[in-house]
């Protein structure tokens, strides 16, 4: 007796016994105990694949799933109990010094049941995982079409995801593999149709086995689809949804990838050219196919004309803005220039983004929970008189105020002027939220009294939310404006 035995999680590949690796075959042939899962009918896909490598005198441990579908009232509980019991059975062999090989169809760490045993045993016994050829690789091989190339991104999705989640993940246009078809095939087909991608999808059943079948997914009878099947949307490196140029004005959100919508992400990925103010453009990772055209933040109409010119030549151009492109940003500028006769044939789309006011508000609580007004303090594009009269009117109407562009390096006095103007309508105690670089690395959110608003603490990366007479700061420092207005 030489101590405990070794545990192996061995991938046996997609079906063809010749696709079992040399190493897997050797381990299967030399194991004391061979373990495989099966449903109650007792047939095991993995064992059938490994059959040629079994000696015939080995102990076989068949692990029969207690439930076959996730319809069971306590599926997770039953499965946890089942894996605990399986782990105990294997531990007994390992304690007796036996070598245990757990067979896994495909690859053990790729949606395999082996990992449930691994998590329970690998820290207790010497363990090795032997990778196998996955069904995704096998599927691509039998469809006979390259799966991913160049800068394409492969997405692997379980068909069991909710339909909306599937649609979201399908929207980027890059190659996709969808596993676990079986009973999910109708949902998967709907999601593909909604994402406009059903015509790209191949159906692959039991790849590399005698029962192999491939077809267009749209043409498959869904009642005949087994669990051992998948859908593949292979590579289309030269694919273009349309060859006509266009300008898409894309909102990046206030900061970071978390606040970029999937729709915006897809538009950025599909563009040939990315145009925008350098700070915002730096937030976008270009792929090698794309060209970036960075500009300073001054002449928006020139930037818009540049983008429209590129589109006129047939390029697909994304113009980026921070936040929402329609809020003090590029959408208006692009549409204004696009209205000129020379750009009459250039399509322009605007894709929304999360605007800074809403990001800041969420950090503070719900200060915009009732009516509010949005005002930019920048007098670069409008005279101060207009700004002052609008502040006056909005404050007189007891609106909460979201103030964009409160200050810049060359423009500092407006915050003080605005504060003094507002104090004519609002009490000194009115809560003011100062959100700076919200969502970004230098995020700060402070709440001060209006009378204490210090202009030297406000710069161009700040947004101010000025409460109405109803806005409350709770003992916890949360700011909200009640849904109901008195009267
Ligand atoms: N289109 C953008 C606004 C552009 S104006 C949007 O919808 O958010 C630029 C102003 O937006 C800044 O001066 C600041 O007031 C505000 N802002 C943008 N990002 C911000 C962030 N992460 N945190 C706080 N304010 C921000």
Whether the CB of 435 sits within 6 Å of ligand 1:
yes
Nearest to 179 by CA among 199, 145, 203: 203
From the CA of 372, how far away is ligand 1's center (Å)? Answer: 17
Give the pLDDT of residue 130. Answer: 98
Strands 348-351 and 365-366: unpaired
Q: Does domain 357-480 have CATH number 3.30.950.10?
A: yes
Nearest to 408 by CA among 460, 363, 449: 460
CA torsion through residues 425, 427, 431, 436, sign:
positive
Residue ranges, the chain, pLDDT below 50: 1, 241-242
Chain centre to alpha carbon of residue 216? 27
Whether the CB of 323 sits within 6 Å of ligand 1:
yes
Give the pLDDT of residue 39. Answer: 87
Domain 6-132 has what CATH class?
alpha beta
Chain centre to alpha carbon of residue 332? 28
Give the pLDDT of residue 242. Answer: 47
Continuous H helices in 51-171: 75-95, 114-121, 135-143, 163-170
Give the pLDDT of residue 241. Answer: 47
CATH of 137-238, picked from 2.40.10.340, 3.30.950.10, 3.40.50.150, 3.90.25.10, is 3.30.950.10
Q: What DSSP character marks residue 212?
A: -
Continuous H helices in 215-329: 262-270, 278-281, 300-312
Report the distance separating Cα 470 and Cα 463, nearest Å.
Answer: 20
Whether the CB of 252 sits within 6 Å of ligand 1:
no
Report the distance separating Cα 350 and Cα 264, nearest Å.
Answer: 10
Residue given tokens 């070794």 in the structure block: 6
From the CA of 213, how far away is ligand 1's center (Å)? Answer: 54
Whether the CB of 360 sits within 6 Å of ligand 1:
yes
Strands 176-179 and 155-158: parallel
- Any residues with CB less than 8 A from the CB of 263 and at least 6 apart, and which? 171, 351
Nearest to 435 by CA among 367, 352, 353: 367
Report the distance separating Cα 483 and Cα 163, nearest Å.
Answer: 34
Domain ranges of the chain: 6-132, 137-238, 241-351, 357-480
Task: Indicate the top mutation candidate among 253, 264, 323 to test ligand 1's pocket, ranked by most ligand atoms within 8 A of CB.
Answer: 323
CATH of 241-351, picked from 3.40.1010.10, 3.60.15.10, 3.40.50.920, 2.60.40.420, is 3.40.1010.10
Instruction: Judge contact between 159 and 188, C-beta under 8 A.
Output: yes
Nearest to 202 by CA among 168, 177, 166: 177
Nearest residue (by CA) to ligand 1, atom 17, is: 356
The strand pairing partners of 408, in sequence order, are 411
Residue given tokens 């059975």 in the structure block: 89
Give the pLDDT of residue 67. Answer: 76
Give the pLDDT of residue 69. Answer: 62
State the number of CA atoms in the 13 A half-sphere of 12 facing the CB: 29
Give the pLDDT of residue 2. Answer: 61
264 burial via Cβ count (<10 Å: 0-12, 13-18, 19+): buried
Give the pLDDT of residue 288. Answer: 76
Domain 6-132 identical in fold to domain 241-351 = yes
Whether the CB of 402 sits within 6 Å of ligand 1:
no
Report the distance separating Cα 272 and Cα 288, nearest Å.
Answer: 10
């Amino acid at each position: 007796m030489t101590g405990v035995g070794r545990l192996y999680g061995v991938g046996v590949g997609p079906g063809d016994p010749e696709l079992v690796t040399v190493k897997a075959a050797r381990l299967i042939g030399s194991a004391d105990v061979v373990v495989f899962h099966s449903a109650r009918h007792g047939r095991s896909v993995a064992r059938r694949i490994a059959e040629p490598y079994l000696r015939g005198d080995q102990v076989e441990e068949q692990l029969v799933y207690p439930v076959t579908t996730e319809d069971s009232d306590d599926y997770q509980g039953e499965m946890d109990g089942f894996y605990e019991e399986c782990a105990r059975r294997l531990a007994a062999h390992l304690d007796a010094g036996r070598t245990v090989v757990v067979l896994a169809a495909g690859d053990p760490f790729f949606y395999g049941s082996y990992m449930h045993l691994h998590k329970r045993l690998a820290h207790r016994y010497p363990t090795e995982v032997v990778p196998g050829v996955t069904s995704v690789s096998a599927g691509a091989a039998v469809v006979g079409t390259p799966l991913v190339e160049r800068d394409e991104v492969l997405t692997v999705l379980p068909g069991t995801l909710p339909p909306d989640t599937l649609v979201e993940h399908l929207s980027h246009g890059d190659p996709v593999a969808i596993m676990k078809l079986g009973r999910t095939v109708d949902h998967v087909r709907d999601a593909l149709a909604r994402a406009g991608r059903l015509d790209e999808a191949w159906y692959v059943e039991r790849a590399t086995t005698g029962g192999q079948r491939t077809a267009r997914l749209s043409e498959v009878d869904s009642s005949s689809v087994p669990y051992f099947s998948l859908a593949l949307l292979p590579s289309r490196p030269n694919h273009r949804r349309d060859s006509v140029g266009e300008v898409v004005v894309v909102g990046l959100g206030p900061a970071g990838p978390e606040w970029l919508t999937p729709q915006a992400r897809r538009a950025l990925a599909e563009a040939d050219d990315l145009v925008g103010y350098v700070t915002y453009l730096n937030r976008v990772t270009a792929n090698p196919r794309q060209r970036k055209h960075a500009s300073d933040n001054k002449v928006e109409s020139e930037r818009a004309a540049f983008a429209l010119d590129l589109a006129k030549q047939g390029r697909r151009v994304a113009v980026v803005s921070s936040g929402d492109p329609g809020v003090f940003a590029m959408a208006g500028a692009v549409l204004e220039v696009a209205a000129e006769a020379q750009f009459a044939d250039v399509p322009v789309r605007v894709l929304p983004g999360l605007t800074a006011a809403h990001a800041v508000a969420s950090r503070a609580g719900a200060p915009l929970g009732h009516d509010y007004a949005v005002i930019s303090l920048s007098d670069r594009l409008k005279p101060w008189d207009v700004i002052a009269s609008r502040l006056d009117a909005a404050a007189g109407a007891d609106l909460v105020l979201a103030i964009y562009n409160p200050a810049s390096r060359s423009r500092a006095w407006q915050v003080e002027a605005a504060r003094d103007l507002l104090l004519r309508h609002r009490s000194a105690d009115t809560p003011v939220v100062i959100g700076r670089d919200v969502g970004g690395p230098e995020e700060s959110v402070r709440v001060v009294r209006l009378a204490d608003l210090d202009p030297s603490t406000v710069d161009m990366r700040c947004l101010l939310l000025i409460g109405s007479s109803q806005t409350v700061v709770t003992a916890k420092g949360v700011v909200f404006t009640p849904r109901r207005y008195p009267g």
